[in-house]
Amino acid sequence: MRRPRLKAPASHPVAFYHCVSRIVNRDFVLGDAERDKLVEYMRTYEQLYGLRVLSYCIMSNHFHILVEVPQRPAEADLPGDAALVAKVRECLGDKLANSLEWELSHHRSQGNDEAAEALRESWFGRMWNVSTYMKVLKQRFSQWFNGQHARRGTLWEDRYRSVLVEGVGQALRAMAAYIDLNPVRAKICDDPKDYRWCGYAEAVAGGKEARAAVNWLTALNPHGGIKPEAAAMKPKEALRRWRCHLFGIPESEARQARQAEQGELAAVFRDRIPREKALEVLAKGGKLSEADYLRCKVRYFSDGAVLGGKNFVEGIFQACRERFGPKRKDGARPLRGLAGESVDQRLYNLRQLRKEVFG
């Protein structure tokens, strides 16, 4: 039975989703060229559809994307004909843009505004929508992949899975770090900067979109809003702070901050608790720090439906109350095994995973 896909209520102007999709049969078919092309399409449709990728990781048989999805603007604020054509030209090239421009001009010259608006809606209906973004991204890549490898048929295992993430620092930063650390958990590398198909590595390499995302994530307050002192943060400082977050090093410790700048944190990270020890701690009823927790493959981050603070998760539960049985009285469930400094800093989920919390 397919788990229902939850959406943010209309009262939320922006929604954040962690999306995961896997290759059929979990086959390891995404090589360097394939991962490069998937990142290229990810960025193309991110721009076209008015979304923002905050973090991502393309592995050899699946990918993760943390994406920010704004609500569709009011009709009066939608781009005009010229602006729409310009966006299509920038993202998809002259052929589609010229065709769109001619059709709009033809309809307008005939006084057929209804047809022109229907054509515009065929484009706007795909924008600001995570489902359309993922569908088009996967379809477009499948077409390219099948053409490159002379194959036919389905490439992806099923529809993508998603987790609705609260749009504040605590939840978003944890999810983004979890995604960046995928190649470390897979033992491909000791440092995520060495795996070029993740958001952090792209930011280190100077990628404009990735650096802007790291700046924004680093500047977030735990409970919402932007830290005042971070408004004018330089990219180098944002990368240093995000690196400290990935390695579980407090930003306030000057010596460790210097280590981050000198690239010495890899040794610190390798000395942290291994996955087997983490499982042993959990089995004995103990709890892990966030840095250690994110080193494990935690199902809450891909199968938990909703991730955030207690009030956020409870609000989503109440908004989607009809999807749950009458015996379910509340929605928020604390993440098993994760230590929290205080109640208001803990992360909650909509599903209490009783078995195989760690994959």
pLDDT digits (tens, 9 = 90+) for 115-137: 999 999 999 999 999 999 999 99
Q: Higher-confidence residue: 33 or 190?
A: 33
Neighbouring-strand partners of residue 16: 68, 165
CA geometry: angle 163, 299, 37, nearest 5 deg: 65
Rounded-to-integer distance, Cα 27 and Cα 22, Å: 9
Residue 353 sits at φ, ψ, to 5 deg, of -80, 110
Place of tokens 């009823």: 285
Residue 141 pLDDT > 60, yes or no? yes
Nearest to 279 by CA among 297, 265, 259: 297
In sequence order, which residues have a C-beta less than 8 Å from that of residue 248 and are 6 or more positions away?
269, 272, 289, 290, 291, 292
Instruction: Supply the Cα-derived Rg of the chain in whole angstroms.
Output: 22
Span 281-289, mean pLDDT? Answer: 73
Domains and CATH numbers, the chain: 14-72+157-349 (3.30.70.1290), 75-124 (no CATH)
| Residue 295 DSSP one-character state | T
Q: Higher-confidence residue: 276 or 72?
A: 72
Place of tokens 């809450």: 300
141 near 154, Cβ under 8 Å?
no
pTM passes above 0.85 = yes
Q: Which two tokens stand for residue 350?
A: 């909509």
165 near 20, Cβ under 8 Å?
no
* Percentage of the chain lying above the pLDDT 70 cut: 82
Span 277-291, mean pLDDT? Answer: 73
Q: Residue 349: left (phi > 0), alpha (psi -120 to 50), or beta?
A: beta
